[in-house]
Amino acid sequence: MTDIAKQLRQIKSTLPAGVELVAVSKFHPVEALREAYDAGQRIFGESRVQELTEKIPAMPADTQWHFIGHLQTNKLKYIIGQVALIESVDSVRLLEMIDDLSAKRGVVTRVLMQVHVAQETTKFGFLPDELVDWFASRGFESLKATHICGLMGMASNTDDTERIEADFRMIADTRRRILDAAPDLRGFDTLSMGMSDDYELAIAAGSTLVRVGTAIFGSRY
């Protein structure tokens, strides 16, 4: 068995039922993705449009791609209709452009709204209150071809376990507050939280989708 297959198997054995694994393959060559695919992995996460569009034709057709990086609106045209989930919707403008292009192309795009709770100022996303307000004012009702499946978020980049736990709790809490504000929302079930160093804490806080790169593929140079 290859190292990638072993690491995948090890991680999967720790995931409770109902928690899915995104293998974050950014910066890794297609050969590495192939190894993961051959070991049974189907969901891959990429954070750059150009890299993603190069990898798509090099992988089997049943590979599911999640886009997890900051998405520039001028690059949307390359990925609408190509990805299973856009995890990183960080503005209403982006959401509306995804919706318009999806409608134009006759596809339904599944997305997560990205919540910003981490200490770092460089991370993209909505503030929790901002997002709750947007749902309370029912901005989602005008979407024609987009299904908002839940939230994605990252914890602060720190060794402080309590801080990480508090960040994950706040993301999970934001989902509950949104459901309170818009109880008729359907299929708003996905909570994408947790990376190589903190996915266990994320699962304890209610994550249903973990995004793991380094612990599967090794470090990115």
Ligand X SMILES: *Cc1c(COP(=O)(O)O)cnc(C)c1O
Binding site for ligand X (CB under 6 A): 24, 26, 47, 68-69, 195-197, 211-215
**Closest CB to ligand X belongs to which residue?**
213
Shortest distance (Å) from residue 156 CB to ligand X: 13
Nearer to ligand X, 99 or 198 (CB): 198
Q: What is the largest CA-CA distance in the chain?
A: 52
Shortest distance (Å) from residue 32 CB to ligand X: 13
| Residue type (1 letter), 110 | R
Nearer to ligand X, 25 or 143 (CB): 25
Shortest distance (Å) from residue 23 CB to ligand X: 9
Shortest distance (Å) from residue 144 CB to ligand X: 27
Nearer to ligand X, 90 or 99 (CB): 90
Nearer to ligand X, 5 or 11 (CB): 11
